[in-house]
């Protein structure tokens, strides 16, 4: 077998990602307020087996050990999110100092370990108090978000290397249109209003960051994390092509457009008619702030067909896998070339701005031995295949600067609960014992050599 070593550019940022609700636990401790995900998970029937993030990985109490583990694995960067209702229990107004202190201790522990802090301000867990004031469909939410962001910039702006405003705002909006994500409102008009407030909130937060408070601009960079999957029309006909365009515009264009180009996708807005969000004078300028990087979460390739019964967008989606690669424990396809295809499509829109893979990973039915060790060769192969495609994308001129595996450790996979395991590190939930899997050891080697073997 011939071996080809693909060496990444110097300084390529290797990391792993998590989010607050999925790992922290301590949902009502030290003054934390309730979030929409606390409320959703506590509601009967919303999450598989009635599981919740009440305890999750107990990271709130085990943070020091978790950072030590990251150091042991050799991570150069760690992407985490900040729970808004831990910092501002009511969403606006009084700061909960104990909550804010937790993030300060985390950022300082990362600093001591030599790991770059990559903080996401909104990973879906809106304070429930703000949901009761209308949530994201209320455009005031943009201002509440910017005020909350400012609290974090003021306290941690001298130590955080990278900030992301939102994680996958597409999914936050789905929480209004559908039932699978909090708050699960099933209200299509609310979904599209939420999209616009999310864009405005992003713009206001970036603007606040640049204004830089009393101490002038902060040290770090700011951007946003979007879920950018690969979409292909099922057939060659016009109907499938247009259905595919609607799917891409709904999932991606409504964010990429305003944020990178200062406009919404026109054909989709026409299609939506009265459901299209109200855009006021000055809004698009606000959304269209210069950002420092684009974060891309990537998981799968969809084949899109026109479907008369396909809901508002009249489409249906099926997963695509490269032959022989099967599907993940969540039924998602595995199609390595998709990650490069998206980079090649989105790269030009980003006009050379640095791009990071802020999430990519696979859920597997891991089985551990008696010691807790998992020999997850499938996950190693998954990551290896993705990294090869990323290396090819860099060779073709894409300004890709880093890769964050999702996730550092097994955690609460939203409405699917604890069953799908994404981690490099196994978590035995009853004992909270952490055991690095084969993939963690392998990934450490990739980081150490800054290279992957093809």
Which entry of 168, 204, 245, 413 is annotated as an active-site residue? 168
Q: What are phi and psi of 207, to 5 degrees?
A: -60, -45
CA distance 437 to 451: 20
Question: Which of 192/406 has CB closer to ligand GBH?
Answer: 406
Q: Does 268 bind ligand GBH (CB under 6 A)?
A: no
Token pair for residue 195? 């999209």
Token pair for residue 277? 């969000």
Closest approach of Cβ 362 to ligand GBH, in Å? 9
Q: Does 192 bind ligand GBH (CB under 6 A)?
A: no
Closest approach of Cβ 237 to ligand GBH, in Å? 22
Window 312-351: contact mask with ligand GBH (x via CB under 6 A): -----x----------------------------------
- Max Cα–Cα distance, the chain, nearest Å: 62
Q: Does 297 bind ligand GBH (CB under 6 A)?
A: yes
Q: Are strands 301-306 and 315-320 parallel, antiparallel or unpaired?
A: antiparallel
Closest approach of Cβ 175 to ligand GBH, in Å? 10
Evaluate the CA torsion angle 324, 329, 333, 338 in order and state its sign. Answer: negative
CA distance 327 to 363: 9
Question: Which of 174/424 has CB closer to ligand GBH?
Answer: 174
Q: How many residues bind ligand GBH (CB under 6 A)?
A: 14
Question: Which of 20/106 has CB closer to ligand GBH?
Answer: 20
With residue 207 as reference, give the H or E element that holds it. helix 188-211
Question: Which of 178/212 has CB closer to ligand GBH?
Answer: 178
Residue nearest to ligand GBH (CB): 171
Question: Which of 182/208 has CB closer to ligand GBH?
Answer: 182
Token pair for residue 190? 């609310």
Question: Which of 32/79 has CB closer to ligand GBH?
Answer: 79
Candidates 83, 96, 122, 167; binder of ligand GBH (CB under 6 A) is: 167
Residues 174/147, Cβ–Cβ less than 8 Å: no
The stretch among 25-33, 49-57, 166-174, 288-296 that binds ligand GBH (CB under 6 A) is: 166-174
Reply yes or no on whether 453 is catalytic: no
The stretch among 8-16, 50-58, 164-172, 255-263 that binds ligand GBH (CB under 6 A) is: 164-172
The stretch among 36-44, 67-75, 165-173, 337-345 that binds ligand GBH (CB under 6 A) is: 165-173
Q: Which of residues 11-30 bind ligand GBH (CB under 6 A)?
A: 19, 22
Question: Which of 8/405 has CB closer to ligand GBH?
Answer: 405
Which entry of 51, 131, 191, 359 is annotated as an active-site residue? 359
Q: Which of residues 391-410 bind ligand GBH (CB under 6 A)?
A: 406
**Across the strands, what pairs with 127?**
35
Of 171, 159, 60, residue with least CA distance to 122: 171
Closest approach of Cβ 236 to ligand GBH, in Å? 23
CA distance 123 to 356: 17
Closest approach of Cβ 47 to ligand GBH, in Å? 13
CA distance 67 to 50: 30
CA distance 233 to 303: 6
Q: Does 413 bind ligand GBH (CB under 6 A)?
A: yes
CA distance 420 to 409: 11
CA distance 192 to 275: 7
**Contacts for 273 with CB less than 8 Å, ≥ 6 apart:** none
Distances (CA, A) of 447 to 273, 293, 332, 452: 49, 22, 27, 9
Reply yes or no on whether 168 is catalytic: yes
Residues that bind ligand GBH in the complex, under the rule CB under 6 A: 19, 22, 167-168, 171, 174, 227, 251, 297, 299, 317, 359, 406, 413
Q: Looking at the annotation, which residues are catalytic?
A: 168, 359
């Amino acid at each position: 077998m011939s071996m080809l070593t693909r060496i990444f550019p110097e300084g390529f940022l290797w990391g792993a990602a998590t989010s607050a609700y999925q790992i922290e636990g301590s949902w009502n401790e030290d003054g934390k307020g309730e979030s929409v995900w606390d409320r959703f998970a506590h509601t009967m029937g919303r999450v598989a087996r009635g599981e919740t993030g009440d305890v999750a990985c107990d990271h709130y109490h085990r943070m020091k050990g978790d950072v030590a583990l990251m150091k042991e694995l050799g991570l150069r960067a760690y992407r985490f999110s900040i729970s808004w209702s831990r910092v501002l229990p009511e969403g606006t107004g009084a700061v909960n100092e104990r909550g804010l202190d937790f993030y300060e201790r985390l950022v300082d522990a990362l600093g001591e370990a030599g790991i770059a802090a990559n903080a996401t301000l909104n990973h879906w867990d809106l304070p429930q108090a703000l949901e009761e004031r209308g949530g994201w469909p209320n455009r005031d939410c943009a201002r509440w978000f910017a005020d909350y962001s400012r609290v974090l910039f003021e306290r941690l702006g001298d130590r955080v290397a990278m900030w992301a405003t939102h994680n996958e705002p597409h999914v936050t909006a789905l929480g209004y249109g559908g039932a699978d994500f909090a708050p699960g409102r099933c209200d299509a008009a609310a979904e599209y209003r939420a999209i616009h407030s999310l864009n405005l909130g992003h713009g206001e937060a970036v603007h606040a960051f640049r204004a830089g408070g009393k101490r002038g601009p902060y040290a770090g960079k700011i951007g946003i994390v979007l879920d950018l999957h690969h979409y292909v029309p099922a057939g060659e006909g016009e109907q499938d092509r247009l259905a595919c365009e609607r799917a891409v515009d709904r999932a991606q264009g409504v964010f990429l457009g305003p944020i990178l180009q200062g406009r919404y996708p026109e054909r989709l807005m026409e299609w939506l008619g009265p459901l299209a969000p109200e855009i006021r004078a000055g809004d698009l300028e606000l959304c269209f702030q210069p950002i420092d990087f684009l974060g891309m979460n990537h998981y799968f390739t969809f084949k899109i067909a026109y479907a008369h019964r396909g809901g508002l967008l009249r489409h249906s989606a099926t997963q695509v896998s490269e032959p022989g690669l099967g599907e993940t424990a969540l039924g998602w396809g595995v199609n390595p070339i998709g990650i490069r295809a998206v980079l090649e499509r989105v790269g030009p829109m980003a006009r050379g701005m640095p791009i990071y893979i802020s999430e990519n990973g696979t859920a597997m039915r891991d089985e551990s031995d008696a010691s807790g060790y998992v020999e997850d060769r499938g996950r190693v192969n998954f990551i290896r295949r993705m990294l090869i495609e990323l290396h090819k994308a860099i060779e073709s001129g894409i300004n890709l600067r880093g890769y964050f595996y999702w996730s550092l450790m097994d955690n609460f996979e939203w409405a699917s609960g604890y069953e799908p395991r994404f981690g490099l590190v196994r978590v035995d939930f009853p004992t909270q014992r952490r055991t690095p899997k084969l993939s963690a050891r392998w990934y450490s080697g990739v980081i150490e050599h800054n290279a992957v073997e093809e």
